[in-house]
A and B are shown apart, each in its own frame.
Chain A
Amino acid sequence: GENVEQHPSTLSVQEGDSAVIKCTYSDSASNYFPWYKQELGKGPQLIIDIRSNVGEKKDQRIAVTLNKTAKHFSLHITETQPEDSAVYFCAASIRRDGAGNMLTFGGGTRLMVKP
Chain B
Amino acid sequence: GAGVSQSPRYKVAKRGQDVALRCDPISGHVSLFWYQQALGQGPEFLTYFQNEAQLDKSGLPSDRFFAERPEGSVSTLKIQRTQQEDSAVYLCASSLRWEGLGGQPQHFGDGTRLSIL
Min Cβ gap B4→A in Å is 7
A44–B103 CB distance below 8 A: no
Chain A nearest CB from B6 CB (Å) reads 8
Residue pair A105, B43 in contact (C-beta under 8 Å): yes
Q: How many chain B residues touch A (Cβ–Cβ < 8 Å)? A: 30
- B106 & A34 in contact (Cβ 8 Å cutoff): yes
Q: Which of B41, B43, B100 contacts A103 (CB 8 A)?
A: B43
A49 to B, closest residue via Cβ: B105
Complex CA gap A41/B101 in Å reads 32
- With a cutoff of 8 Å between Cβ atoms, the chain A residues found around residue B101 in the complex are 31-32, 51-53, 95
- A101-B56 contact in complex given A46-B106, A107-B41, A108-B42, C-beta closer than 8 Å: no
Contact indicator B42/A106 (Cβ below 8 Å): yes
Nearest Cβ in chain B — how far from A11, in angstroms? Answer: 15
A49-B105, A52-B102, A99-B55 known; A43 vs B48 contact (CB < 8 Å): no
Which of the residues A4, A44, A102, A107 comes within 8 Å of B48, measured between beta carbons?
A102
Q: Collect the chain A residues with CB atoms within 8 Å of residue B41's CB.
A: 107-108
9 contacts between A and B (CB under 8 A): A32-B102, A95-B103, A98-B55, A99-B48, A100-B50, A101-B104, A105-B42, A105-B43, A105-B44
Chain A residues within CB distance 8 Å of chain B: 4, 6, 31-32, 34, 36, 41-46, 49, 51-53, 89, 91, 93-95, 98-108
